[in-house]
Amino acid sequence: MDLAQIERLREVLERRGERAYARLFTEQERAYCERRPLTKFNSYAGRFAVKEAVMKLLGTGWTRGVRWVDIEVVRERGSAPTVVLHGETARIARARGIARIHITITHDAGIAAAVAVGESA
C-alpha cells in the first residue's frame, strides 16, 4: 500500500515540469490523466501511489534497475485499472514468482491511495 499527497505531487510536477513527467509517467498514463483537466492531479497521484506500492511489493524500491515508467497503470474504458510491467521490473517480478499484480486506487481529502497485491502463476 502507498499514499501520495495530491497537492505535493502537483507542486513537484509543476516545478520540475517535463523532466518529472517523463521520468515518472508513460505517454499513455499522461494521456489518460490529461483527458481529465479538473482531476488530472488526482489521477497522477493515484498512479504514483500504485508505482510505489508495486516497488514495495517487489521489495526493490527505486533500485536494481526499476524505473518509474516500467510500472505502467493501464485503464481500458469501462474496466478497472491494471498494471503492466516492463523491462527489468518485469524480470524481477517473474524471478519472484509474481505472475499478476492486482491494484486498486482511490483518492479523497487530498490523498491518493493504492494497494498492490501480487499473485503467483
Query: What separation in angstroms does the CA of 115 have from each of 8, 90, 104, 112?
Result: 20, 18, 5, 11
Q: Say if residue 64's pLDDT is above 80.
A: no
Q: Say if residue 80's pLDDT is above 80.
A: yes
Instruction: Tell me if 98 sits within 8 A of 119, measured CB to CB.
Output: yes
Measured distance CA(94)–CA(99) in Å, rounded = 6
Q: How does residue 17 score in pLDDT terms, banded at 50, 70 and 90? A: very high
Q: How many domains does the chain have?
A: 1
Predicted TM-score of the model (pTM):
0.95
Q: How much is the pLDDT for 8?
A: 98
Write out the residue range of the structural domain in which residue 42 sits.
Answer: 2-119
Q: How much is the pLDDT for 121?
A: 82
CATH number at residue 61: 3.90.470.20
